[in-house]
């Protein structure tokens, strides 16, 4: 009987070190999982913070463009078709003389293959190219122009239909004028 009591106590003592090692291994594994998870969450947090910073910048840019439209001295004009313009074309312009910035919105601006619409600023009768208008799949486009020019000389915006890539020179349309928008006042 005494022998069995000694052997039972010795068995418990041999289990304790194994149990300690098992707990240590579990602790190491849990620590590893926590470190991995912490690193993954830090990476996701950094990505999210970068995304928020980018969206904040974008929001400030959009607020700046909204200020052009809401500026007290802003001039707005709808484009009128010329005899060469397609009946479905629609366009409107908002120009802030204080900042010399403009926002132009275009609808139904789809072109035939090999052609582009081109926007012009007219100063008196002198045109200056402001760029190409390329609508999305639905023919919609928005142009945001940082510098349209001196408000004292800007008399109108015009749109021409040009060969692909626009007029060969930035100072004169070669194709027909399809729309005009007077900027008087």
Task: Choose the weakest-confidence range: 16-25, 34-43, 135-144, 163-172.
Answer: 16-25
- Distance separating alpha carbons of residues 122 and 113, to the nearest angstrom: 27
Q: What is the reported pLDDT for 23?
A: 86
For all residues of the chain together, what is the average pLDDT? 87
Q: Are 143 and 112 contacting, i.e. CB atoms less than 8 angstroms apart?
A: no
Strands in 154-163's sheet, in edge-to-edge order, are 80-81, 177-182, 154-163, 115-123, 126-133
pLDDT at position 59 is 87
Question: Which is nearest to 146 in space by CA: 105, 104, 101, 92?
Answer: 101
pLDDT range class, residue 34, cuts 50, 70, 90: very high
What confidence score (pLDDT) does residue 60 get?
84
Ramachandran bin of 2, using left for φ above 0, alpha for ψ from -120 to 50, beta for the remaining angles:
alpha
Whole-model pTM above 0.85?
A: no
Beta strands in the chain (DSSP E): 75-78, 80-81, 90-96, 101-107, 115-123, 126-133, 141-145, 154-163, 177-182
pLDDT tens digits for range 60-94: 878 877 878 888 888 888 899 999 998 999 999 99
- The 10s digit of each residue's pLDDT in 92-126 is 999 999 999 999 999 999 888 899 999 999 988 88
pLDDT band per the 50, 70, 90 thresholds, residue 5: very low
Q: How confident is the model at residue 6 (pLDDT cuts 50, 70, 90)?
A: very low
Q: What is the pLDDT of residue 12?
A: 64
Do residues 175 and 163 lie in contact, with contact meaning Cβ atoms separated by under 8 Å? yes
* Rounded Cα–Cα distance for residues 27 and 29 (Å): 5
Grade residue 132 by pLDDT with cuts at 50, 70 and 90: very high
Cβ neighbours around 70 below 10 Å, total: 11
In this structure, CATH architecture of domain 75-182? Sandwich (2.60)
Domain ranges of the chain: 1-70, 75-182
**So what's the pLDDT on residue 184?**
63
């Amino acid at each position: 009987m005494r022998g069995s009591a000694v052997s039972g106590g010795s068995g418990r003592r041999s289990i304790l070190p194994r149990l300690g090692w098992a707990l240590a291994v579990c602790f190491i594994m849990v620590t590893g999982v926590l470190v991995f998870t912490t690193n993954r969450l830090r990476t996701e947090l950094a990505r999210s913070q970068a995304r928020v910073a980018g969206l904040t910048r974008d929001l400030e840019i959009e607020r700046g463009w909204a200020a052009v439209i809401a500026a007290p001295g802003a001039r707005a004009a709808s484009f009128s078709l010329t005899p060469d313009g397609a009946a479905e074309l629609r366009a409107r312009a908002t120009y802030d003389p204080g900042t010399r910035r403009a926002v132009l919105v275009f609808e139904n601006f789809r072109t035939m293959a090999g052609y582009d619409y081109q926007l012009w600023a007219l100063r008196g009768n002198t045109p200056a190219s402001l760029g190409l208008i390329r609508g999305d799949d639905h023919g919609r486009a928005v142009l945001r122009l940082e510098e349209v020019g001196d408000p004292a000389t800007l008399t109108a915006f015009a749109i021409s239909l040009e060969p692909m890539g626009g007029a060969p020179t930035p100072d004169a349309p070669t194709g027909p004028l399809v729309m005009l928008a007077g900027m008087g006042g």
